[in-house]
Amino acid sequence: MNKQNLIKKLKRLEKKHVELYAELDSLDELMRAIGFTHGLQTVKQTAVELGETKKHEGEASGF
C-alpha cells in the first residue's frame, strides 16, 4: 500500500471509530434510561452473572 491509500484507510477507520463510539454512547444512555444504573457496564455484569448461573444450572443437571 502506498501512502495515499494508507491515509484513506486511516480516515475510513477514524470515521468508523467515531460512528461506533457514538452508537455505544447512545446504547449506554438507553440502558441507563431503562434502569441499568451504570449503563452498559451493568448490562455486561448482569450478562456475565446470568451466564455463570446458566453454566452452574447445566452442571447441576448433568448437561
Q: Say what the pLDDT of residue 54 is.
A: 87
Q: Say what the pLDDT of residue 63 is.
A: 57
Q: Place 3 in a pLDDT band, splitting at 50, 70 and 90.
A: very high
Note the pLDDT tens digit of each residue in 21-61: 999 999 999 999 999 999 999 999 999 999 999 888 887 77
Q: Which three cell numbers stand for residue 52?
A: 455463570
Number of alpha carbons in the 13 Å side-chain half-sphere of residue 6: 3
Q: Say what the pLDDT of residue 62 is.
A: 66
Q: Say what the pLDDT of residue 1 is.
A: 80
Q: Which residue has the higher pLDDT, 57 or 17?
A: 17
Closest CA to 24 of 43, 10, 37: 43
What whole-number distance in Å separates Cα of residue 21 and Cα of residue 58? 36
